[in-house]
Chain A
Amino acid sequence: MKMLIGKKLIGILLVLACSTMAQAAPLVAARTTDMRDAIDRITIAAENNGYHLVKIQAVDSALVKRGFENPGVRILFIGKASAMEQAQVYYPPLLSMLPLKLALIVRDKEIVVTSDDLDAWKDMFPEPQAHRLIDAWHKDLEQILRDYVER
């Protein structure tokens, strides 16, 4: 009997754990390449999906220049004018999340690209008009990262 209760308890705990681990996560894509090529590929992928590169934040070289270790991280900001306009008209607090950000991280011979966690933004902004915009950006980012990997 005790054994049965113990097994049930563990089962319940596992379900709880799985539901916790299944929470939203940022979009991630990786390919074998170097940083320069990865930036080119992301820029082209963004352009093909109506976005433009706004800024490359060379965190790695900024830190190295100041005597710190190279974290192997660069941050790219991408955006499109219509996204800004829509946010301004329909849900101005979303402007605090724009332009969209992608982190490029060196992992051995790969460059891993991660987006911000847009699903978490839905918790931040629970209103339906915010969700519509976030969902659209999420789809765009998915396609950009898919292009990064496949093309």
Chain B
Amino acid sequence: MKKTAQYLTLVLCVFFNLAAALPAFAEEEPPLLNLTIKGKTLDQVTESLINAINSNNYSFVRQQAIDSRLVPTDWEAKSVRIVYFCNFDTMNRALALDTRASEFLPCRITLIETRDGVELMAVNPAWVSLRLGNYRLHEYCVKLKSDYQAIMNEAAL
């Protein structure tokens, strides 16, 4: 009886420590993936980003102004754009593991034109998956994160 209680306490310790450690792990992943591309226009970066998406085995879905369909087309923001893309196989596997994967699907990168160049921003899927606490999903998200980085870096070339 006493041994059972000790064993149970040990199991609870491990479980609670793991649960409590999740946010700490999350702090190890940056929430955003950023890259500034200097000396290029928004149109040039959009084009190179779409090429990078295709060459990294993802499908380009669409691009739109940040305020698309919220204001008349002529009034749309010229300096902020969103590019959507996805890999259907990865999306299928991620959703099969956990429907909360919809939080980072489809993939999107926001482009903001500044005086210095164009800033690329995306939510880090590995940060999201750590917060969700699903380690199997996290494996996919770590790969997804490195794909985001590869795409962003290729767009900067």
Contact = CB atoms under 8 A, between A and B. Distances in A.
Does A pair with B? yes
Interface in A1-58: 6, 9-10, 13, 16-17, 20-21, 23, 26, 52-55, 57
Contacts of A71: 92, 95-96, 99
Contacts, number: 110
Interface string A94-111: 011111010101000000
B19 A21 contact: yes
Q: Is the interface of B mostly helix, strand, loop or mixed?
A: helix
B121 A96 contact: yes
Contacts of A16: 16, 20
Could you say which interface size class chain A belongs to? 35 or more
B70 interface: yes
Nearest to A115: B103
Contacts of A63: 88, 91-92, 95
Contact of B96 (A9, A69, A80): A69
A20 B106 contact: no
A53 B69 CA distance: 8
B54 to A, nearest CB: 17
Contact of A124 (B32, B66, B67, B69): B32
B71 interface: yes
A20 B105 contact: no
A66 interface: yes
Nearest to B127: A124
A71 B91 CA distance: 10
B88 A62 contact: yes
Interface in B11-25: 12-13, 15-16, 19-20, 22-23
Interface of B: 5, 9, 12-13, 15-16, 19-20, 22-23, 31-32, 64, 66-71, 77, 80, 88-89, 91-92, 95-96, 99-100, 102-103, 105-106, 110, 112, 121-123, 127, 131
Query: What are the 4 tightest A-B residue pairs by CB atom distance, in nearest-first order?
Result: A103-B102, A124-B31, A71-B95, A96-B121
Given A17-B16, A63-B88, A96-B32, 17 more contacts: A6-B5, A13-B16, A17-B19, A23-B23, A55-B69, A59-B91, A59-B102, A71-B95, A75-B102, A79-B69, A81-B70, A93-B121, A96-B122, A103-B102, A103-B103, A105-B99, A123-B31
